[in-house]
Amino acid sequence: MRRDAQAIVLLLVGGGLIRLAWTGDYLNYVKPYALWLILPAGVILVAVAAITAWSVWRAKEGADEHDDGHGHGEPKVAWLLLVPVVGMLLVAPDALGSYEAERTGSAIGAEEGRSSYPELPDGEDPVPLPLLDYAARAIFDEGRSLEGHRIELRGFILYSGDEPQLARMVVSCCAADARPVKIGLEGALPAGLEPDQWVEIIGVYSPRQGRDEINGALVPYIEVESITGIATPDNEYQ
Amino acid sequence: MAHNGTVSADLASTDTPAPPPSPTPPPRPPRRGLTSIEALALLLVFGLTARPGLTELFAAPLAQAWAARFVAVCVQAFPFLVLGVALSAAIAAFVPADFFHKAVPKRTALAVPVAGVAGAVLPGCECASVPVAGALVRRGVAPAAAFTFMLASPAINPIVVVSTIVAFPGDPRMVVARVAASLAAAVSIGWLWARLGKTEWLRLPEHRHHEDGRWAAFWAALRHDFLHAGGYLVIGAAIAASLNTLVPETWLAPIAEDPVLGVLALAVLAVLVSICSESDAFVAASLTQFSPTAKLAFMVVGPFVDVKLAAMQAGTFGRRFAIRFAPTAFVVAVVASVLMGVLLL
């Protein structure tokens, strides 16, 4: 690969990272804090591209025509860097949703060792909770801290068999390790809940528990008072 | 979902000045005739015309899931790769050649454990440590010590230790076991290499000498190492995304019951899924069907050898090295985790 072509590849990779940071689409792939990793990395790559382009231009200006930008057996494998560029800029896949969640076991087990379940605020009604927090309180604390509160949960719909569930993908590092938290729905449900539809559920703790067929993890339930469709949040992961 | 198929319709107006290329493996430019810049231009034109078909191809949920995972691994790994190649370029350009001769103990047997403990200071994932190890070898550090550093650094650095503490609350033995098993395995592999390793297995990509000064050498090394290691990272990311998407999790459930198979299964899983060492503790903690020793094996093997790392090691040190090093690292890591599991967990 010639050095001028290398400069373009570096520019595309760096520019792709900066674009993800700029548009906020990086939240489909990594955690929010990663913004402070991908932005500097993108800037550095664009700088390397600029310096490479400048040195190629300078070499062409100079009388010495020997160094005209041709690489000396430079890495052919660098061509592969165009594949993630296509992924970032052209394909731009959505965040993982119900398709993945239906094929992966609930990640509730990660919370098993948790020891403290602080009281929920009395002033708020309903109390918004992350799904994983609700599930951990429901299963490992037997719902003690949930009783007497109305809870608000936000997630997407998925189907376990023909039973609708509420789910959210939990990401530790990047979307490649995304695992769902699933919560069963009890009570009167509106018909026609579509998979991947984002909803806000207000309800109260239900002692009922089920099991995830995939990994045998416990699935807590919530007694549904209302389901409202909401817009897809910027950060679909938790 | 946030977007539909028309995601990058505004591409031309964004900060990426060049139009996007095509996803097909680019044709290798023949010796004469097509130069790489012309090949790139052709690809860009082809990519633009092929876009509608591309969007359709990746509309299927399976393809979407694969692409999301692949892009996620790349986006997460690129910053750490940039950190790693910047460090290795700085070592190549600015650190005097005799520095490591003074800093690293002369006897390899002693240099290996020193390198292992020194691994605690590089706060990065394994993507950063591979190019740094390459730079160390090039600078005259004994390969055995450089490899121990490469293995130990992503396994025992402060960020990893903290994330393990968070992932296993109220279970400090797991943290101690992870650090001890990783360090012991890294040092053992270094000593093994010092006894059995052969330098001719190593093929480090050549760096050109620069007369234009240290900064020119720094930028050239940074560019070269990123393009080189990045290409191999892409191979690893594609394999990891494929395995993550295609291997159903239900296969794991019956294996988890058996203590021996459980350890092996999670060790193999760590190789296949290629999770960053900074977050693998959270994934290990969520694999509740498995024994603590199996979870430990998952966390010790992952930073040592996985498909993404093996591809990068093959790129940095040569294929003959990688096909010997990766299986050895796997076996030693599993043995160390089992021993530590019996002792502590």
Tens digit of each residue's pLDDT (9 = 90 or more) over B326-336: 999 999 999 99
Confidence of residue B209 (pLDDT cuts 50, 70, 90): low
CB-based contact A217 B288, cutoff 8 Å: yes
CB-based contact B234 A4, cutoff 8 Å: no
Confidence of residue B167 (pLDDT cuts 50, 70, 90): confident
- Checking if the pLDDT of B31 tops 50, the result is no
Of A25, A78, A86, the CB nearest to B228: A78
Residue B33 is predicted with a pLDDT of 56
Residue B206 is predicted with a pLDDT of 66
| A99-229: CATH topology | OB fold (Dihydrolipoamide Acetyltransferase, E2P) (2.40.50)
Question: pLDDT tens digits, chain A, 238 residues: what are they?
Answer: 788 889 999 999 999 999 999 999 999 999 898 899 899 999 999 999 999 999 888 887 764 544 444 444 467 888 899 999 988 888 888 899 888 888 888 888 777 767 788 888 888 889 999 999 999 999 988 888 998 899 999 999 999 888 899 999 988 778 888 889 999 999 888 888 889 999 999 999 999 999 988 888 899 999 999 999 999 999 999 8
Q: Is the bond preceding residue B30 a cis peptide, omega within 30 degrees?
A: no
Confidence of residue B106 (pLDDT cuts 50, 70, 90): confident
CB-based contact B26 A78, cutoff 8 Å: no
- Checking if the pLDDT of B16 tops 70, the result is no
Of B206, B235, B288, the CB nearest to A80: B235
Choosing among A77, A159, A194, A214, which should be mutated to test the B contact, i.e. which has the most B CBs within 10 A?
Answer: A77
User: Tens of pLDDT along B266-294?
Assistant: 999 889 878 778 778 878 887 777 889 99
Confidence of residue B6 (pLDDT cuts 50, 70, 90): very low
Residue A26 is predicted with a pLDDT of 94
Of B1, B28, B223, the CB nearest to A76: B28
Confidence of residue B243 (pLDDT cuts 50, 70, 90): confident
User: Tens of pLDDT along B214-229?
Assistant: 888 888 888 988 898 8
- Checking if the pLDDT of B201 tops 90, the result is no
Write out B251-291 in H/E/C secondary structure.
Answer: HHHHHHCCHHHHHHHHHHHHHHHCCCCCCHHHHHHHCCCCC
Residue B8 is predicted with a pLDDT of 39
CB-based contact A176 B278, cutoff 8 Å: no
Distance CA B212, CA B197 (A): 36
In sequence order, what DSSP letters do the residues of A169-234 get, joined into one string? EE-SSBGGG-EEEEEEEES---S-PPTT-EEEEEEEEEEEEEE-TTT--EEEEEEEEEEEE-PPPS
- Checking if the pLDDT of B61 tops 80, the result is yes
In sequence order, what DSSP letters do the residues of B21-89 get, joined into one string? --SSPPPPPPSSSS-HHHHHHHHHHHHHHTHHHHHHHTTSHHHHHHHHHHHHHHHHHHHHHHHHHHHHH
Query: What is the nearest CA distance from B141 to chain A, expressed in angstroms?
Result: 25
The whole-number average pLDDT for the span B113-133 is 83
Tell me which residues of chain A, numbers 148 to 167, contact chain B at a CB-CB cutoff of 8 Å: none
CB-based contact A19 B226, cutoff 8 Å: no
Residues of A in contact with B289 (CB under 8 A): 109, 215-216
Residues of B in contact with A18 (CB under 8 A): 15
Beta bridge partners of A172: none
Query: What is the nearest CA distance from A186 to chain B, expressed in angstroms?
Result: 25
- Checking if the pLDDT of B26 tops 60, the result is no
> Which residue of B lies nearest to A90 if distances are taken between CA atoms?
B8
The whole-number average pLDDT for the span B69-85 is 88
* pTM of the predicted protein model: 0.81
Residue A73 is predicted with a pLDDT of 47
CB-based contact B75 A17, cutoff 8 Å: yes
- For helices B143-156 and B158-167, the axis angle rounded to 10 degrees is 40
- Checking if the pLDDT of B251 tops 80, the result is no
Q: Which of A111-115, B27-31, B299-303, B318-322 has the lowest mean pLDDT?
A: B27-31
Residue A178 is predicted with a pLDDT of 86
B105 three-state secondary structure: coil
Would an 8 Å CB–CB cutoff place A231 in contact with chain B? no
CB-based contact B82 A91, cutoff 8 Å: no
Q: Which of A16-20, A104-108, B112-116, B243-247 has the lowest mean pLDDT?
A: B243-247
Would an 8 Å CB–CB cutoff place A28 in contact with chain B? yes
Query: What is the nearest CA distance from A50 to chain B, expressed in angstroms?
Result: 11
Percentage of chain B lying above the pLDDT 70 cut: 87
Distance CA B112, CA B13 (A): 53
Q: Is A200 exposed, middle or buried (0-12, 13-18, 19+ CB in 10 A)?
A: middle
Write the DSSP symbol of residue A89. I
The whole-number average pLDDT for the span B31-46 is 71
Q: Is A12 exposed, middle or buried (0-12, 13-18, 19+ CB in 10 A)?
A: buried
Residue A233 is predicted with a pLDDT of 92
Distance CA B105, CA B211 (A): 31
- Checking if the pLDDT of B4 tops 50, the result is no
ipTM for this prediction: 0.91
Would an 8 Å CB–CB cutoff place A228 in contact with chain B? no
Would an 8 Å CB–CB cutoff place A30 in contact with chain B? yes
Residues of A in contact with B315 (CB under 8 A): 77
More confident residue, B318 or B54: B318
Token pair, residue B291, equals 């024994």
The structural domains of chain A, with segments of one domain joined by +, span 3-93, 99-229
- For helices B214-246 and B307-317, the axis angle rounded to 10 degrees is 150
Confidence of residue B205 (pLDDT cuts 50, 70, 90): low
Confidence of residue B34 (pLDDT cuts 50, 70, 90): low
Residues of B in contact with A236 (CB under 8 A): 1-2
Residue B10 is predicted with a pLDDT of 40
Of B7, B224, B241, the CB nearest to A92: B7
- Mean pLDDT of the residues in chain B: 81
CB-based contact B65 A179, cutoff 8 Å: no
Count of C-beta atoms within a 10 Å radius of residue B127: 28
Of B1, B80, B170, the CB nearest to A95: B1
Query: What is the nearest CA distance from A152 to chain B, expressed in angstroms?
Result: 21
Token pair, residue B268, equals 């193999």
- Checking if the pLDDT of B12 tops 80, the result is no
Residue B17 is predicted with a pLDDT of 44
CB-based contact B279 A173, cutoff 8 Å: yes
Residues of A in contact with B54 (CB under 8 A): 86, 90-91
CB-based contact B289 A215, cutoff 8 Å: yes
- Checking if the pLDDT of B174 tops 90, the result is yes
Of A6, A44, A100, the CB nearest to B227: A6
Residue A199 is predicted with a pLDDT of 95
